[in-house]
């Protein structure tokens, strides 16, 4: 039996399992605490966050992980790859923010509940920025997977402790976003000790968006 394969498969599958199982507990809790009227608005804001999340994540969990594999023994190339993906996610986050502002201005349900949108945007961008793809590519996914599972447990515990009334909708979104934010920071700190840091830029972000070939990012660095 290929134990190395199972060691690499188990953490991401565990993360996906938690992502599906956790809402089975948090959604009924929030629906009961928020009440029918406030819960419907919170659910709509959460749905907007999910669409923004898909925009920021943009399939990097698969494509970027694939591109890291052939350069996993090249620290410089890995650093440029991280910079390119982070830059691309900054550009995508800016686009998601623009859409959020338009919704706040022109959609009635958001116009009357603008206070929910910062939390929804924060939740989406923090979850979408998780560098799990990087650890998949370098085959060090166990620690990042454990960190992501711990953030799910901590976030759900915080919901139970600090969300008690219909007026706590924005707080619930920020709590749900804070846990992945801390996991993103932890994952980034784990990624860089043996990888050079390159500051994300518009140029590298644009290269990251064209991700058909990781050499576009590396070539951009060499040409400068």
| Mean pLDDT of all residues in 105-109 | 76
- Over residues 111-139, the pLDDT tens digits come to 777 778 888 888 888 777 888 888 888 87
| Mean pLDDT of all residues in 180-194 | 84
Q: Which residues fall within 8 angstroms of residue 48, CB to CB, at 6 or more apart?
A: 100, 103, 110, 117, 120, 124
- Over residues 93-103, the pLDDT tens digits come to 888 888 888 87
Residue 217's pLDDT band (cuts 50, 70, 90): very low
Query: According to the model, what pLDDT value does residue 184 have?
Result: 83
Is residue 134 within 8 A of residue 64, CB to CB? The reply is yes
Query: According to the model, what pLDDT value does residue 146 have?
Result: 79
The C-alpha angle 158, 160, 163, rounded to 5 degrees, equals 85
Where are the chain's structural domains? 3-223
- Over residues 8-65, the pLDDT tens digits come to 666 666 777 777 777 788 888 888 888 877 887 888 788 878 888 888 887 787 788 8
């Amino acid at each position: 039996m290929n134990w190395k394969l199972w060691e690499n498969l188990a953490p991401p599958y565990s993360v996906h399992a938690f992502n599906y199982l956790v809402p089975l507990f948090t959604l009924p809790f929030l629906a009961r605490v928020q009440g029918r009227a406030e819960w419907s608005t919170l659910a709509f804001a959460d749905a907007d966050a999910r669409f923004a999340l898909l925009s920021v994540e943009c399939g990097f969990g698969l494509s970027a992980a694939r591109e890291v594999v052939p350069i996993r023994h090249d620290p410089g190339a890995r650093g440029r790859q991280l910079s390119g993906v982070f830059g691309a996610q900054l550009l995508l986050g800016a686009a998601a923010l623009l859409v959020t502002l338009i919704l706040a201005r022109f959609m009635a349900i958001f116009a009357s509940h603008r206070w929910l949108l910062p939390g929804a945007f924060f939740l989406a961008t923090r979850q979408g920025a998780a560098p799990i793809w990087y650890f998949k590519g370098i085959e060090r996914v166990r620690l990042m997977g454990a960190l992501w599972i711990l953030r799910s447990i901590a976030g759900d515990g915080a919901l139970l402790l600090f969300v008690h009334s219909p007026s706590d909708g924005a707080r619930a979104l920020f709590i749900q976003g804070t846990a992945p934010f801390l996991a993103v920071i932890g994952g980034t700190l784990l990624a860089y000790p043996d990888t050079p840091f390159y500051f994300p830029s518009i140029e590298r972000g644009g290269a990251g968006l064209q991700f058909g070939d990781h050499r576009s990012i590396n070539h951009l660095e060499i040409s400068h």
